[in-house]
Chains A and B, each alone.
Chain A
């Protein structure tokens, strides 16, 4: 029995919920048992968001255990760095090179960790860090909100499932007026060469 546990972290408003819905439906298409759990705290925008997606033959808990995440997908740099304890040794950590400084940083009371610091936190936990210019790519496609789907494009190459399945799921979940944007964002991510 092999489970695939995917943890996502970001900031409210970044589209983590759409991304986790896409992963959930793709898991079903690939004939896995799937569970998903997400916590979006009090804030509509600007708070921490985490989402757990689990694929497997048999999945009981909707939550991933510490040390068991096969993938960590980070929509924002600092939020990604909060989850090293969940990474399984050698797990890819796909990280959007995008910063949203929290209030303490804006007020000068704390320092936003550098890219190197974040990478070393995640590497020390056994993660294989992959930086993706998701927000930049999505912005070039017309809307930075599609950054999450760029990241999914990158992960899709590792998770398997042919592009048709992913695109079908995206079509079923994304409103018509944003469909073209998200299709392109997915393709852009999928086409990226990552180490």
Chain B
């Protein structure tokens, strides 16, 4: 029987069937649903860790203990976890360790489109890449076997179009292996697991020998396969891009790579000898192309296809026609389509939801005129017009450190760092300690909506609930920052604009490091909705003050504003800002 599953659901299913007992992750698009789905299976332990590094240490520890473990994260999460990745490669493990890197070509919801295939080469670990949900499920089992056979972490790379696309998966009557009846005794082996230089030097040799053996394995694994066809053009592709290329080149010879590092050199040579022209079609970096060229095999790739942005079947068709790989006429539909202009249509950027507590906070920030150094979360949208009240965003946790550096460099501007509650637990605590330790005049605002909102409302250490819905200790933000040593700590409600403005001015004028917790739970999570106000058209002077809140239900009619009651959440901010008292409930 077949069931539709997203790539993420299929990975979770594969992990369950293959006896993964421990899962750890921090939410991040497009990886989030892997751990959410895995957590639902019986007999497994799954957690939201505070960040990806903690998640990977957790997975590594579980694998040291002999359990099969899975750790999942978005591509930039691997940056956070990378220190832990590299020691695990040296020590090896006992149980299988599977690391999922969910990349985001096209940056649908990310700050960059780094190509994490490079991590496999950098860390010297094998990497697999599925091209649909069935492979996502199957490759999990292959990866875990490989991890245990070669004693190495294995990385499975997906992209948004695999993670969030649905395709049929064969559902059999497989069941997971039973967990050990009794907890085993830990196998203590310092030479393998204590990475002091004397031991690590020996382990580096193991790493180099291991990756050679994996390259041999890559020659014969069935997930790398030649699909025979017309011998004019031979295409090397993997993952989602393989599927796009199959649409455009239904009859070509393909080398379909499921194991994308290390590459199978003999198989590549055999493939190259079978076809007239070898073409690598790969999104982002010339990862295959460079390595294949280094083998001395003539290959085309980035001379035809772009290095920037997400691919699509249409893009591959157009570029292939332009390069003469397919008849020029086949590229015409695409070219004609591209000429259809929709450029004049107003764009619809992502924006804060109606009722969002961040809106009032950014309104007050804007009015304060302060410089606001931002972070990653829904509140990143506060940088967009008309709020335009955030001036940097880099990566998770960067806000506070950047604010500290700017304050130390000495600017006229008053400095606010703004960071969400979940992001604060992820990587905000260390830079906050630094603000106090090294004394910078920064007001740190924790925008507390009491959930990890942007990725779809996941729990975090402050919510008092675990991923598997168990009640637990909730870390109290106020107590935490006071325990660090901050004595100027306040809590304010962003629905009360005057109250928030007053306390913010007090902090900005205090001349010392301080913390302001701006707290309003996410209304999409609490499902709180109040009565929508309406506009008294007699009183409305059409001044546009309410429109500057950037709230989608507030729109413009001929000579006054209107509020769409279907979209409105009833937060009442517009009532507070209207100078004519024209918005009433």
Contact = CB atoms under 8 A, between A and B. Distances in A.
Query: Which of A44, A67, A101, A110 has the most chain B CB atoms closer than 10 A to its own CB?
Result: A44
Given A60-B244, A86-B337, A105-B555, A39 B164 contact: yes
Interface string B320-352: 000000000000011011101010011111111
Interface string A103-117: 111111011110000
Interface string B165-179: 111100000000000
Interface string B355-398: 00000000000000000000000101100011000000000000
Given A62-B243, A100-B552, A144-B566, A125 B340 contact: yes
Nearest to A27: B4
A72 interface: no
B472 interface: no
A46 interface: yes
Query: Which of B161, B524, B564 has the most chain A CB atoms closer than 10 A to its own CB?
Result: B161
A81 interface: yes
A146 to B, nearest CB: 12
A35 B2 CA distance: 13
A28 B347 contact: no
B356 to A, nearest CB: 9
Interface string A60-103: 11110111000000000011011011100000000000001111
Given A47-B348, A125-B340, A24 B108 contact: no
Given A66-B314, A85-B340, A45 B454 contact: no
A115 B246 CA distance: 39
B15 interface: no
B247 A65 contact: yes
B273 interface: no
B550 interface: yes
A65 B313 contact: yes
B258 interface: no
Contacts of B109: 41-42
A29 B170 CA distance: 15
Interface in A120-161: 121, 124-125, 135, 139, 144
A104 B312 contact: no
Contact of B454 (A44, A67, A108, A125): A44
A106 B556 CA distance: 5
A48 to B, nearest CB: 5
B353 A46 contact: yes
Interface residues of B, number: 58
Interface string B551-574: 010111000000010110000000
B7 to A, nearest CB: 10
B4 A108 contact: no
A36 B4 CA distance: 9
Nearest to B342: A82
A45 B351 CA distance: 7
B337 A28 contact: no
B514 interface: no
Given A65-B317, A125-B340, A39 B243 contact: no
A101 B347 CA distance: 10
Contacts of A60: 243-244, 246-247
Given A28-B4, A65-B314, A107 B544 contact: yes
Interface in B453-472: 453-454, 456
Contacts of B337: 66-67, 85-86
B354 interface: yes
Nearest to A42: B350
B242 to A, nearest CB: 8
Contacts of A79: 348
B91 interface: no
A107 B388 CA distance: 14
A125 B345 CA distance: 16
Nearest to B246: A60
Contacts of B350: 12, 41-43, 46-48
B547 interface: yes
Contacts of A25: 4
Contact of A28 (B2, B380, B456, B550): B2
B555 A63 contact: no
Given A24-B4, A67-B336, A35 B166 contact: yes
B160 interface: yes
A49 to B, nearest CB: 10
B240 interface: yes
A167 interface: no
A37 B161 contact: yes
Contacts of B247: 60-61, 65
A34 interface: yes
A43 B333 contact: no
Query: Which of A28, A67, A81, A86 has the most chain B CB atoms closer than 10 A to its own CB?
Result: A67
Interface in B201-253: 240, 243-244, 246-247
Contacts of A62: 132, 161, 165-167, 240, 243
B381 A43 contact: yes
A112 B168 CA distance: 40
Contact of B167 (A13, A34, A102): A34
Nearest to A108: B556
B339 to A, nearest CB: 8
17 contacts: A34-B168, A41-B108, A42-B109, A42-B454, A44-B453, A45-B524, A45-B552, A62-B240, A65-B314, A79-B348, A84-B342, A85-B338, A101-B555, A102-B346, A102-B347, A102-B348, A103-B351
Interface of B: 2, 4, 108-109, 132, 160-161, 164-168, 240, 243-244, 246-247, 312-314, 317, 333-334, 336-338, 340, 342, 345-354, 378, 380-381, 385-386, 453-454, 456, 524, 544, 547-548, 550, 552, 554-556, 564, 566-567
4 A-B pairs with the lowest CB-CB distances in the bound complex, closest first: A43-B350, A110-B346, A62-B165, A47-B350
Given A13-B353, A113-B345, 14 more contacts: A41-B350, A47-B349, A61-B247, A62-B243, A65-B334, A66-B314, A66-B334, A103-B349, A105-B556, A106-B547, A106-B554, A107-B556, A108-B544, A108-B556
